[in-house]
């Protein structure tokens, strides 16, 4: 190649640093040392190619190879196993937050229950309402004197508040209250076996019965409670209105006597 600059450009494009011909062709002109300018090395390759491009190049015709036998069958197989492109779903901040946001159960307000043990094996759980100054203990005393005529009932009241442990980091859902109170009842039954149980009012029945039972639908009825969770010991509880409801609606006392007798 007589044009040394053009030869150096081709060798540089091919990544060849040093080139030495093995033989000299006959009638070839003698090689002349070419001094390359310093600015040529600093120029972009595209500029060098444009500057030292050959004036005329004969086009090269590529003859396609014959298709191998069974190429169409292979193409069909590859087309079947080709991965299916997933549909692109727009991603935004709202969709990301929806994925990480968990729907929490509603928090219930703290409440209190009144406990009485008028006789051995007899437990009364009443839904306490301290905001109303009503003579609930006097009503309970009259009811028990009629229900237990031969026994002097013990009317020492115990107040059980929920949550039992004040901790703002603990969740306070209906399931939490139900699990905690049912566990308490199971332990109470183990320590002091219960053979008669009154659940009076909404809170007493709602959290000591199963979650699917509505207290208002089972008033005046008797339910079997599995206090231990293993089926070994079972409690029979009568679901009754609270003492406050009996005072506010005296006509309910007739249903009360029909249920407890």
Average pLDDT along the chain, 261 residues, taken 10 residues at a time: 72 78 76 62 51 52 51 59 55 61 74 94 91 86 88 89 77 87 92 92 91 86 67 75 92 88 75
Angle among Cα 40, 45, 47 to the nearest 5 degrees reads 70
The structural domains of the chain, with segments of one domain joined by +, span 4-51, 111-260
Tokens of 188: 């109470």
Task: State the pLDDT at residue 48.
Answer: 47
The position carrying tokens 């339910």 is 223
| This prediction's pTM | 0.57
Q: What is the model's pLDDT at position 9? A: 81
Please identify which residue in the block is written with the tokens 């229950």: 113
Q: Return the pLDDT at 153.
A: 86
Task: List beta partners, residue 84.
Answer: none
pLDDT value of position 199:
95
Contact status, residue 126 vs residue 136, Cβ threshold 8 Å? yes
Q: What is the pLDDT of residue 228?
A: 46
pLDDT given at position 115: 96
Q: How many angstroms separate the CA atoms of 253 and 241, rounded?
A: 10
Task: Locate 152 and state its tokens.
Answer: 């002097």
């Amino acid at each position: 190649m007589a044009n040394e600059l053009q030869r150096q450009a081709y060798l540089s494009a091919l990544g060849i640093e040093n080139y030495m011909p093995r033989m000299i062709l006959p009638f070839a002109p003698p090689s002349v040392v070419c001094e390359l300018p310093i600015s040529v090395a600093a120029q972009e390759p595209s500029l060098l190619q444009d500057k030292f491009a050959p004036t005329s190049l004969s086009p090269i015709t590529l003859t396609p190879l014959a298709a191998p036998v069974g190429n169409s069958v292979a193409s069909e197989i590859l087309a079947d196993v080709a991965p299916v492109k997933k549909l692109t779903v727009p991603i935004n901040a709202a969709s990301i937050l929806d994925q990480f946001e968990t729907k929490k159960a509603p928090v219930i307000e703290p409440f209190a229950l009144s406990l009485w043990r008028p006789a051995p094996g007899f437990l009364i759980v009443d839904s306490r309402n301290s905001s109303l100054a009503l003579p609930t203990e006097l009503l309970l005393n009259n009811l028990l004197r009629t229900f237990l005529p031969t026994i002097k009932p013990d009317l020492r009241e115990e107040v059980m508040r929920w949550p039992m442990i004040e901790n703002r980091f603990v969740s306070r859902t209906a399931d939490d209250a139900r699990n905690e109170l049912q566990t308490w009842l199971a332990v109470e039954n183990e320590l002091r076996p219960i053979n008669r149980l009154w659940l009076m009012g909404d809170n007493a029945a709602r959290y000591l019965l199963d979650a699917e039972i509505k207290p208002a639908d089972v008033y005046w009825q008797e339910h079997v409670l599995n206090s231990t969770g293993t089926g070994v010991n079972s409690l029979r509880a009568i679901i009754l209105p609270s003492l406050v409801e009996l005072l506010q609606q005296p006509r309910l006392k007739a249903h009360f006597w029909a249920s407890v007798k």
